[in-house]
Chains A and B, each alone.
Chain A
Amino acid sequence: MVYFFTYKEAIFIIALSVFLGIEVISHVPSVLHTPLMSGANAISGVIIIGGIILVGHSDASRLSLELVLGILAIIFATLNVVGGFVVTDRMLEMFKKKKK
């Protein structure tokens, strides 16, 4: 119970966002399953913000393990974000072409 009150805010956010997520995405036609998945996948690359904060405040004057891993995290997350959005757009463009 103590934990519930300590993390009340977080629990509220999770509960409401899960509900929101389900409401927004349910009833997706199967045509869009793949693009939805790859688009959502790109959004999960939002972890990039964490990478930027990490590298942003680490000591850049010397090469530390922390710096290298942080840079790696940014590169990985960027791959996820840019690749994900671009490939989703490519797929959706294909669908669009068909409609004419």
Chain B
Amino acid sequence: MDQVIGNLNGVDFTLGGTLLELSYLLAALFFVYGLKLLSHPETARKGNFYAAIGMFLAIITTILLHKNAQGVGIPLVNVWIILAALGVGSVVGWIIALRIKMTAMPQLVSFYNATGGAASALVALLEFPNADMNNTGSVLVTILGLIIGSIAFSGSMIAYGKLDGKVGDIFSGMMKYVNIFLLLVVVAISVFIMTSGQTPEQLNWAIYLLLAVSLVYGVMFVMPIGGADMPVVISLLNSLSGVAAMMAGFIYNNQAMILGGILVGAAGTILTILMCNAMNRSLLNVIIGSFGVGGASANKDQVGDMKEITMSDASILLSYSKSVVIVPGYGLAVAQAQHACHELDVILSGKGVNVRYAIHPVAGRMPGHMNVLLAEADVPYNQLFEMESINPDMPHTDVVMVIGANDVVNPAAITDPGSPIAGMPIINAHLAKNIIVMKRGRGKGYAGIENELFFDAKTRLLFGDAKNTLQNLVNEIKSL
């Protein structure tokens, strides 16, 4: 049966093999179409479903139809082992995915990214003994899969730890040189493996050394990056895990893996670039982490005093406004204040106030995180506006309420060419008629610079935890 199609033109292919290749092609098409749908709001859910179908198809046909070089299929014992492993992973993955809080989404994505990277590194490591040392290409993709997978794994684990507050930031000038050194070591070992002419068995020590150094590099590379740069790092690591999967795809010459990997790599790269643009910084600048050191004019003296506002004054000001724009930031996510924020927005809307949200592209801790948080709190998404579309309306806005955001509303980005954030696109909160800022304390933002907006004559501050402050404000407005 298997030889039905037979040997055409001297090319040996079987029915099973052909079906398998076709199913990989189909899976790859499902991935492409799924991602296409995933990038439009109305079709996104369907797109995710299609991508999952593609994956399911590829897994099933691999188990049923894959044959090794000797034409032997997967023995039944191994099928059971594979199914057991699939079962364990599915159940655990499913449970975590259903239980996770939306505020913890960045941690979860980092964690899953780490597991993907680890799987790529393991596959490359185990395939190395089978590599044909005379085939430069095959050795290269194996080594690259190992290196990139390891970096994606250890880097994502550190990112996960940071987002979860388990790992702190370590800034040090030395770090830059250590990282360059580690990278050189990685390249040196790779070149040695490729040119030594030894067998994979003899090179066993080198491949494990390469694994170890790559893992250390992943840790050291993410360690100094933190705070507002997290969206960039997560996107970058995401793209790395895709590239690692692509490399492994070349080991097996598997089109579904290659195409899937490249698509993920491209998605991650695009998001990385978008995030970098949103902060007006180059990728190199983020990785080296020279932010917050402060330019010449960064530490200039305060322009005036911060003026506080009482709850009752704030509630009156908000209730009698025509239009209010809320600018949520990192602080809102940390305080988990999205529900309280929506409560305020509902009660104000009930009083005939036009309430809108202005979302900066890097608000939150990963790309688009703020949108997810507000969606979770039932904020309709026609109330969410991107920076470019709401900025022209700012001069006609009665009150802008900045909740836990800082650098993204700092006018220094426009007015002070010497500022570290000069040129970064901001939400023009300073153009509104009144500004209310909710802040935990008098500290500076992530960039470590003063924000003139807080000292503006039109600005009033409400100090305290965003969630409590918002709840008090809602109660105050109710009792008006």
Interface positions of A (Cβ within 8 A of B): 3, 6-7, 10, 13-14, 17-18, 20-22, 24-58, 60-61, 66-67, 69-99
Count contacts between A and B, CB distance < 8 Å: 350
Contact B123 A51 (CB under 8 A): yes
Contact B372 A50 (CB under 8 A): no
B45-66 at interface with A (beta carbon < 8 Å):
45, 47-49, 51-52, 55, 58-59, 62-63, 66
Contact B81 A60 (CB under 8 A): yes
Given A38-B112, A89-B48, A98-B379, residue A52 in contact with residue B62 (CB < 8 A): yes
Residues of B within 8 A of A7 (CB): 137
Closest to B61 in A: A49
Is B238 in contact with chain A by the CB < 8 A criterion?
A: yes
Contact pick for A57, options B38, B51, B74, B92, CB 8 Å: B74
Contact pick for B126, options A39, A54, A94, CB 8 Å: A54
Contact A49 B85 (CB under 8 A): no
Residues of B within 8 A of A73 (CB): 118-119, 122-123, 126
Is B393 in contact with chain A by the CB < 8 A criterion?
A: no
**What 1/0 flags go to B251-282 for Cβ under 8 Å of A?**
11011111111111111101100100000000
**What 1/0 flags go to B348-385 for Cβ under 8 Å of A?**
00000000000101000011110110011011110010
Contact A50 B386 (CB under 8 A): no
Compute how far the CA of A45 lies from the CA of B32 in the bound complex, rounded to whole angstroms.
15
- Write the nearest CB–CB distance from B20 to chain A, whole angstroms: 10
Contact A46 B118 (CB under 8 A): no
**What 1/0 flags go to B109-153 for Cβ under 8 Å of A?**
100110110111011011100000000110000000000000000
Stretch at the interface among B97-105, B222-230, B314-322: B97-105
Given A30-B368, A73-B126, residue A49 in contact with residue B119 (CB < 8 A): no
Compute how far the CA of A42 lies from the CA of B371 in the bound complex, rounded to whole angstroms.
20
Contact pick for B86, options A37, A43, A78, CB 8 Å: A78
Contact B55 A21 (CB under 8 A): no
Residues of B within 8 A of A3 (CB): 136-137
Contact pick for A47, options B77, B102, B257, CB 8 Å: B257
Is B455 in contact with chain A by the CB < 8 A criterion?
A: no
Contact A83 B105 (CB under 8 A): no
Stretch at the interface among B2-10, B242-250, B295-303: B242-250
Residues of A within 8 A of B213 (CB): none
Interface positions of B (Cβ within 8 A of A): 27, 31-32, 34-36, 38-41, 44-45, 47-49, 51-52, 55, 58-59, 62-63, 66, 68, 72, 74-75, 77-79, 81-82, 85-86, 88-90, 92-94, 96-98, 100, 102, 105, 108-109, 112-113, 115-116, 118-120, 122-123, 125-127, 136-137, 234-235, 238, 241-242, 244-246, 248-252, 254-268, 270-271, 274, 359, 361, 366-369, 371-372, 375-376, 378-381, 384, 386
Is the contact region of chain A dominated by helix, strand, or loop, or is it mixed? Answer: helix
Interface pairs (10), CB distance under 8 Å: A14-B262, A20-B262, A21-B265, A39-B35, A73-B122, A76-B122, A78-B93, A80-B116, A90-B97, A90-B98
Residues of A within 8 A of B82 (CB): 52, 55-56, 74
Residues of B within 8 A of A48 (CB): 55, 59, 119
Residues of A within 8 A of B263 (CB): 17, 20-21, 24-25, 40, 43
- Write the nearest CB–CB distance from B423 to chain A, whole angstroms: 20
Contact A40 B35 (CB under 8 A): yes
Contact B126 A69 (CB under 8 A): yes
Contact A46 B55 (CB under 8 A): yes
Contact B115 A43 (CB under 8 A): no
Compute how far the CA of A32 lies from the CA of B375 in the bound complex, rounded to whole angstroms.
11
**Sorted from nearest, which 7 A-B pairs have the closest CB atoms?**
A78-B89, A33-B368, A21-B266, A83-B93, A33-B367, A56-B74, A82-B93
